[in-house]
């Protein structure tokens, strides 16, 4: 990647942020972007106040970075990838402009076949991308007690699905949090408020890059380079 490409990429992110600010709605109107988090208990503020959950903390951090984005909680505790697949039409009724797919943890906890999870994630991304909705896929890892073979097969699903649909992948949603008692609730599975903060710290750069690469239609119009007219 050349220095010029890096410079242009940085300028593009800045322009997207400015565009979202300029497109900020009046009070009571919709935000410039609506990011739905289709997930399980990790996305549904399980055991936490709503303000401490992942959607709320991500929205707050994006706002601090200059993004006018509403982050919608579309998580259901206990949902497997099959449950998320069954809720896609319900999700679309909420008219999201972007979707983060965070599923797979309960598939692993139930030791469900990774090939079933792959079919479900593939169907979810197929439906969302058919609607022209940018998707960010969040990966998951299986618990070590399920064995190395299952773990490797499970982990391989996420990059394979992301590559197939040409969407960005955040490799491990619980990166830096899983297994740390100081960042999890008493069950050792669900992040505490501090754990969610750490998750947002980790995923935020990926989300910002994603928004820059796939802005809302209105922001995209501001990013179009004007036609150069020469004599």
**Spans of all domains in the chain:** 29-215
From 49, 149, 166, 187, active-site residue: 187
- Give the C-alpha separation, 199 to 202, whole Å: 5
Instruction: Give 10-residue mean pLDDT values along the chain (231 residues).
Output: 50 50 45 93 92 97 96 96 97 96 97 98 97 97 96 98 98 96 94 97 97 66 41 42
Active site residue 165: no
What pLDDT sits at residue 5? 45
pLDDT value of position 10: 54
Active-site residue flag, 98: no
Of 41, 44, 97, 192, the catalytic one is 41
**Alpha-carbon gap, residue 151 to 2, rounded angstroms:** 37
CATH of 29-215, one of 1.10.101.10, 3.30.200.20, 3.30.750.24, 3.40.50.1110: 3.40.50.1110
3-state SS record for the chain: CCHHHHHHHHHHHHHHHHHHHHCCCCCCCCCCEEEEEEECCCCCCCCCCHHHCHHHHHHHHHHHCCCCEEEEEEECCCCCHHHHHHCHHHHHCCCCCEEEEECCHHHHHCCCCHHHHHHHHHHHHHHHHHCCCCEEEECCCCCHHHCHHHHHHHHHHHHHHHHHHCCCEECCCCCCCCCCHHHECCCCCCECHHHHHHHHHHHHHHHHHHHHHCCCHHHHHHHCCCCCCCC
Question: How much is the pLDDT for 230?
Answer: 44
Per the residue annotation, which of 40, 45, 107, 190 is the catalytic one?
190
pLDDT of 226: 41
Burial class (CB in 10 A: 0-12, 13-18, 19+), 30: exposed
Asked if 41 and 75 touch (Cβ cutoff 8 Å), the reply is yes
pLDDT at 24: 43
The predicted pLDDT at position 216 comes to 58
pLDDT at residue 32, rounded to an integer:
85
190 has catalytic annotation: yes
Query: For the whole model, what pTM was predicted?
Result: 0.82
Residue 25 pLDDT: 40
pLDDT at position 9 is 52
CA torsion, points 114, 117, 122, 128, in degrees to nearest 10?
Answer: -150
Q: What's the gap between Cα 183 and its chain centre?
A: 20
């Amino acid at each position: 990647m050349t220095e010029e490409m890096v410079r242009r990429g940085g300028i593009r992110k800045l322009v997207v942020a400015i565009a979202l600010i300029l497109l900020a709605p009046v009070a009571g109107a919709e935000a410039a972007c609506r990011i739905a988090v289709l997930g399980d208990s990790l996305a549904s503020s399980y055991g936490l106040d709503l303000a401490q959950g992942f959607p709320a903390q991500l929205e707050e951090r994006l706002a601090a970075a200059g993004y006018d984005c509403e982050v919608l909680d579309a998580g259901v505790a206990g949902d497997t990838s099959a449950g998320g697949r069954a809720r896609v039409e319900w999700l679309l009724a909420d008219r999201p402009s972007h979707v983060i797919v965070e599923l797979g943890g309960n598939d692993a906890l139930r030791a469900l076949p990774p090939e079933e999870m792959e079919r479900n994630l593939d169907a979810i991304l197929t439906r969302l991308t058919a609607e022209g909705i940018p998707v960010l896929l969040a990966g998951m890892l299986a618990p070590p007690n399920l064995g190395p073979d299952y773990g490797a097969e499970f982990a391989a699903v996420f990059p394979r699905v992301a590559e197939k649909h040409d969407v960005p992948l955040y490799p491990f949603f619980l990166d830096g949090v899983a297994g740390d008692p100081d960042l999890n609730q008493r069950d050792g599975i669900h992040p505490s408020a501090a754990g969610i903060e750490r998750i947002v710290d980790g995923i935020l750069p990926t989300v910002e890059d994603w928004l820059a690469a796939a802005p809302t239609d209105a922001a995209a119009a501001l990013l179009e380079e004007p036609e150069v007219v020469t004599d």
